[in-house]
Amino acid sequence: MKEYEIGDTLNLGNCTNCGNVIVIEPDNGLFRPQRCGNPVKLADGSWLCGSCLRKLRIKYPQEYRMTPNGKRMEPYERASELNEKEAKQELEHAHDYLEDLREKYGFHQAVFSVEKVDVKKGGFLKPSFYTVTGHVLYGTFTPLDEVSIGMNGAQKAKISCLDNPHSTVPVSDATVQRGTNKLLIDYSWAEGGEEAAFIFQEKNLNLKPGDLIIKD
């Protein structure tokens, strides 16, 4: 990991929406781009800062796509397909769109839509690992959050940790230890519009694609 040095930054100019100066740390291995607010380049070459991008993600969710060399999945921002005019128009209505979502889902603090569930048995007398992949519809989830499964909250569970939604490393106790280490920045939260993987350690968790995970 490269050691960060003061001044090791790149100035990209100003955000096309809010006007804030956009400075990124391209070689700082301590941060993942979507966690430290890196910007996105729009279709017409203008830039949108990380703060404005996060407001758009609930309507233009982040997704993962295969790299050109076919070796790994990387996050892709659908908002990058907008031009400056379109991005500004969408941002004008971003708050109203969020409030409509909150009303639709009963004004819960955060809602996650389940798209895939993988189960791996734990060790002797240990609970199983449930890797639940999907998108945060709105709000923010963090490790150790107490959540409800489904709108009626019939089943409760605790998120053991967050993980890369397309990780090729098998889930284990080490995954949980790494994901809940407060000194690490990676996967410390998942917010509206992001694709994420929640790791649960439960004896029996009734989850399937299409279900919702609710945080109050």
- Quickly list H helices, the chain: 50-56, 84-92, 94-104, 173-179
Other CB atoms within a 10 A radius of the CB of residue 211 amount to 19
* 170-182 residue pLDDT tens: 888 877 776 655 4
Q: Judge contact between 54 and 192, C-beta under 8 A.
A: yes
pLDDT over 90 (residue 4): no
Domain parsing of the chain, residue ranges:
10-101, 107-215
Cα separation, 94 vs 53, in Å, equals 11
pLDDT of the residue at 181: 52
Is the CATH number of domain 107-215 2.40.30.10? yes
pLDDT of the residue at 6: 45
- Quickly list H helices, 12-168: 50-56, 84-92, 94-104
pLDDT-based confidence at residue 104 (cuts at 50, 70, 90): very high
